[in-house]
């Protein structure tokens, strides 16, 4: 828009969302439930440690990572079997130890190990995909009290991309939850780019 140094002007910065800071685990738990019931969909809770039941209060479903693990495992099993069949039966048939060229029994350890290996790759890759990693920066890092979120404070962030988001309305809504403070966050990185 313009090349002058206007990063300090809120009007010129891309809004990321609204953050409400809480100082207790019950506070964040109740807040999460209220935000979910209000119908927001693009939001998250930030806590320094796992709060039991918070995923339920947020209405989060089960992780999708097991699907990646399962697909990885199935591919690994069949690749292992195919490897033994292709080498021992098709490409270079050779009798070893009086055994048939191919049988599902003797290559089983190979298939089994590849099942585990590719299932583990599936778990790692699936975790990256589900968490949208790698992500080298996040607008929440710009929050000046961010270090408290790794120590003794909790926060709810509602993203500006949420269909229900409205700068004034969301701020009022969050202030009614009894937070320590409510702050607007800006996505400075995109602005710099």
Partner 1 sequence: MTTSSDVITPGREAAASSGGRDPSLPLLIAGIVLMVISIGLLFTGSAADPARPFLGYLVAVTFWASILIGMLFLVMVWWLFDAGWSVIIRRQLEHFLAAFPVIGVVMVPLVALGVAGSDAVAWTWMNLDAEVAGAGVTVAEDVLYLHKAPYLNTTFFVLRFILIIGVWVGLAHLLRQWSFRMDETGDHKYVHWSRRLSALGMFVLAMVTTMASVDWFMSLNFHWFSTMFGVWFFSASMRAALSATVLVLFWQASRDDGTGLKGIVKPAHFYLIGCIMLAFTVFWAYISFSQYFLIYNANIPEETFWYNIREKNPDGALNSWWWVSMVLMFLHFFVPFIYLLFYKCKFGARLKFIAVWILAIHLLDIYFNVLPQKLPSDANILGYEVRQFIPGLTDVTVFLGVGALVLWAFVRSTRRHRPIPVRDPRIHESLTCHE
Which residues of the shown chain bind partner 1 in the complex (CB under 8 A)? 52-53, 62, 66, 70, 97-98, 105-106, 108-109
Nearest distance in Å: CB 112, partner 1: 9
Nearest distance in Å: CB 3, partner 1: 54
How far, CA to CA in Å, does 153 sit from each of 22, 26, 42, 114, 180? 6, 12, 21, 44, 10
Please name the residues in contact with 164: beta carbons below 8 A apart, sequence gap of 6 or more.
38, 39, 40, 41, 170
Q: Which is nearer to partner 1, 51 or 140 (CB)?
A: 51
Q: Which is nearer to partner 1, 70 or 90 (CB)?
A: 70
Helices (H), the chain: 25-37, 54-58, 65-85, 108-130, 167-175, 188-192
Nearest distance in Å: CB 20, partner 1: 26
Q: Which is nearer to partner 1, 54 or 83 (CB)?
A: 54
């Amino acid at each position: 828009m313009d090349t002058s140094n206007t990063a300090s002007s809120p009007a010129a910065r891309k809004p990321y969302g609204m953050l409400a800071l809480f100082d207790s685990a019950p506070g964040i738990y109740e807040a999460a439930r209220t935000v979910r019931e209000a119908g927001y969909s693009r939001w998250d809770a930030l806590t320094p440690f796992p709060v039991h039941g918070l995923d339920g209060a947020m209405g989060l479903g089960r992780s999708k990572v097991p699907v990646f693990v399962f697909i990885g495992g199935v591919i690994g099993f069949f690749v292992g079997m195919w490897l033994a069949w292709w080498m021992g039966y098709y490409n270079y048939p050779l009798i070893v130890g009086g055994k048939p060229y191919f049988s599902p029994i003797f290559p089983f350890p190979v298939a089994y190990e590849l099942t585990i290996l590719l299932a583990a790759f599936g778990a790692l890759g699936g975790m990256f995909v589900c968490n949208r990693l790698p992500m080298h920066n996040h607008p929440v890092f710009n929050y000046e009290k961010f270090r408290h979120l790794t120590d003794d404070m909790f926060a709810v962030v509602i993203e500006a991309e949420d269909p229900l988001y409205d700068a004034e309305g969301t701020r009022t809504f969050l202030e009614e939850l009894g937070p320590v403070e409510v702050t607007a966050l800006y996505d400075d990185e995109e602005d710099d780019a």
